[in-house]
Each structure stands twice: as structure tokens, then as C-alpha cells.
Amino acid sequence: MTDACFTEFLAGIYTAWTSPMITLFLSDETPLESGPMTKEQVSLMTSLLYIGAILGSFSAGWLANAIGRKWSLIISMISQLIGNSLIIFAKTPLLLFISRIFSGFITGATFVILPIFIAEITQKSLRTTLGNFFGLSCNIGHLVGKGLTTFGFYVVPSISIGSAVIFIGCFLMFPDTPEYLLLRNRSEDAEKSLKFYRGVGKDQPFPVETASEFDDMKKVISLRNPNSKITIKDFKDPTTILAIIITFVMTSNINFTGIRLTTAFTASMLNDAGIPVDVSLTDNIICVLQVVGCMAAIYVIRFFKVRRSFLFFYLASIVSFFGAATHYFLHESGFDMIPYTWSFVTCIVLVVVIPSIAINNLSMSTSSQVLPVKIRGSVLGFLNILGLVVAFFTVQYYLYLVDTIGNSM
């Protein structure tokens, strides 16, 4: 599971790379031979990540069912290799634009495939807890990515390329998930896979608990008739409809909480606040708190359970957004907000941290568990595409909206 989450770690590095690079690309110190980029080009570069993510999500559901969870993750990592290689050779914005599409592919693909992979290799009692490592991996990637940008423009893509090569080499030795192998009527391989992920020796019999788990897998898959083609009948069952509705709400959280905007434009939001704050330091502090918060959230969720945790983190997020919006409104109205620097910094930190440490992680781990195996990849892929279309337009036009109506709106 750690190796699989490494894909999200690399995606986190590249996503965080954008925020500090925007200021560099707009300045005279830009590494591009063509000179500083315009705001329009920066917005396009940022939003093209989601075009790639849409392509990744569109193909991920099909890939996960056609060639397996393992090879789908490997293909997504190859796209990361190509994207980061293009950055190294970029002399004009064009190659940066293309690289964003390739790197976006892994963002969209892992959003669909990784929760499925984790859900299918872990025990039921641990799935929600271990699913939070999905977000923890991404947040560690954010921290590392923003830290590495201080050492130069080419450091992040170079390290990402090396890490991707190591990942592919290691992940090739892993078996596919037991459930996918059962889907393909490869019962013997599925048994070996489950032994691998439960730490049982190849020649040893299943422990009683693991044997019962394997029997349950086979029963569920046989009842769902997963080898037949997906038809409209697969979506008519009331429990399936409810599962799709729940998944829609869960996958929409990443847009509802604004985490895509706050991650991509953290530095810009701090610059627009009208307060004397070290943008780079604050940005890095946010990343540290995201990592620490993710680890703390794992224990909070285990103690308070999923529903109570959702309510608590939602309420905290709403209060934080209201506080940050109030600060922006007063600043844009001409009030001197310097004496209230501490309150704004607190609110903006929570606005970024809370969704990334809990809400989005819970949403991902929950959505992958409630859907039937047969339609899991297809539904997650489709709903993720819808969310990414919204993300593309919000990120593309965010800077225009800020110039037009201000940050408070």
C-alpha cells in the first residue's frame, strides 16, 4: 500500500510546485528564454493540469477493469515521467502547457484507481483509516514540493523523474488486487495475491480470518456477475442508486471545499491580503500543518467515527472560510487589517489545511467502498470527470474573478 500511495506523493509534489512557480514565471527572473509569462498564460498553465486529469479519469475506469489496478497505476506513472521531462526542456510556455496535461493524467487516474486499489487490498476494518494515507501521501508531497522549489526550478522535475523510475521498478513486483483477479476468473492468482497482501507465506494455508475474507470476496463477485458487460440494469437497484448519490456528494467535496484553488494559488492569496506576512514561510508552514494534521486526523476519525468527523471538519471549514472572506472584504473596503494579521493567517491556514487533512481523504476512502465492484471504476471515473470540468473553469478564471470582484467573493 505504501508503494501505491507513492503515486499520490509524486502528484502532491507536482501540484504544490505550481504555487511558488507562479511568482517566478511572472517575474523577470523566469527560467524561460521567452521571458516572463502573462497572467493569462499562468492561468492556462495551471488549469491545463485538469484537462490532463479529465483524460486520466476518463481512461482510468476503463483501464482499471481492462488491464488491472496494478498496470493502470504504472501507466499513470509513465505519464508523470513524460510530463516532468518536458519541464526540464521547456524554454517557452508551450512545453510547460503540454507537461501539465501529462502530469494531470496521473492526478486524474490515481484519484480513481488508488482508492480502489487500497480498498481491495486492505481489511474492511482498516479501509477508512488506511484510506487517509491517500491524503497524507499527497500532503507530504505538497511539503516536499514547495520545499524543493527553493533549490531551483529544475530540482522538482528531476527528483520526480528519478522517483517515478524507482516506483515502476518496485511496483512491477507487486501482484494485482485479489478482487480484480477474481473478476478475471483467476482464482489461484487471487489467492496468491491475498496471501501477499496479508503477509501469509506462499506454501502456508490461510488463517481462519483470511480464509473467511477470501470466501466473502468470491461470494460478492459471483452475486454481482462482474464478468458480464455493464448495462443499465446494473444501475437500477435502489442500493446502487443510493451508493452513486453518496459517491457523487463525496467526490464533489474536493471542489466544494475549494482545496484545488487554495493549493494552486496559496501564495497569490497571501499576497492579496494586504498584510505584512512572509508568503514563502507561511506557505511552508501550511504544508507542515497539513502533514501533521493528516496524521492527527487518522486518530480523530478512528475515535469519533466517519459521520461525526465529517460534521466537525465541515463546521470548522465553514467558519474558517467566513473569517478569511470577512478579512478580504474589509481590506478591499479600505480598512487597515494589519492589526488583525494573526486572525487572517489563522483562517487562511485552516481553509487550506482542514479539507486536505480530513474532508477530502474521508470522501475518497468512503466513495471507493460503497460502490459495487462491477461499476466501481466506471462510476468513480465519470464523477471525477464532472468534478474536474468544474475545477478547470474555476482555476482558469480564478485570477480574472479576483481582479473583477475581489477575493472576498
Q: What is the CATH number of the domain that holds 259?
A: 1.20.1250
Are 60 and 135 found together in one domain? yes
Are 255 and 207 found together in one domain? no
CA dihedral 72, 391, 273, 285 (to 10 degrees): -20
The x, y and z cell numbers of residue 93, run together, are 510556455
Mean pLDDT, rounded, for 86-108? 89
401 pLDDT more than 70: yes
- The DSSP line for 71-99 is HHHHHHHHHHHHHHHHHHH-SSHHHHHHH
Are 149 and 200 found together in one domain? no
- Choose among 315, 291, 342: nearest CA to 133: 291
Are 5 and 39 found together in one domain? yes
Are 214 and 239 found together in one domain? no
Distance between CA atoms of residues 246 and 77, nearest Å: 29
Are 1 and 129 found together in one domain? yes
CB contact burial 290-301 (16+ within 10 A = b; e otherwise):
bbebbeebbebb
Are 119 and 146 found together in one domain? yes
Residue 225 backbone zone (phi > 0: left; psi -120 to 50: alpha; other: beta): left
Are 262 and 190 found together in one domain? no
Q: Structural domain tally of the chain?
A: 3
pLDDT one-digit tens code per residue, 25-68: 888 888 888 888 888 888 888 888 888 888 888 888 788 888 88
Distance between CA atoms of residues 296 and 314, nearest Å: 16
pTM of the predicted model as reported, rounded to 2 decimal places = 0.69
Distance between CA atoms of residues 397 and 264, nearest Å: 13
Residue 387: pLDDT band (50, 70, 90) is confident
Are 121 and 200 found together in one domain? no
Are 290 and 353 found together in one domain? yes
154 pLDDT more than 80: yes
Percent of the chain whose predicted confidence (pLDDT) is above 90? 4
Residue 371 backbone zone (phi > 0: left; psi -120 to 50: alpha; other: beta): beta
Mean pLDDT, rounded, for 3-17? 73
Q: What is the CATH number of the domain that holds 93?
A: 1.20.1250.20
Question: Domain range for residue 210?
Answer: 179-223
What is the identity of the amino acid at 324?
A
Q: What is the pLDDT of residue 355?
A: 75
233 pLDDT more than 60: yes
Are 156 and 245 found together in one domain? no
Residue 71: pLDDT band (50, 70, 90) is very high
The whole-chain average pLDDT of the chain stands at: 80
Residue 311: pLDDT band (50, 70, 90) is confident
Are 74 and 30 found together in one domain? yes
The x, y and z cell numbers of residue 244, run together, are 452513486
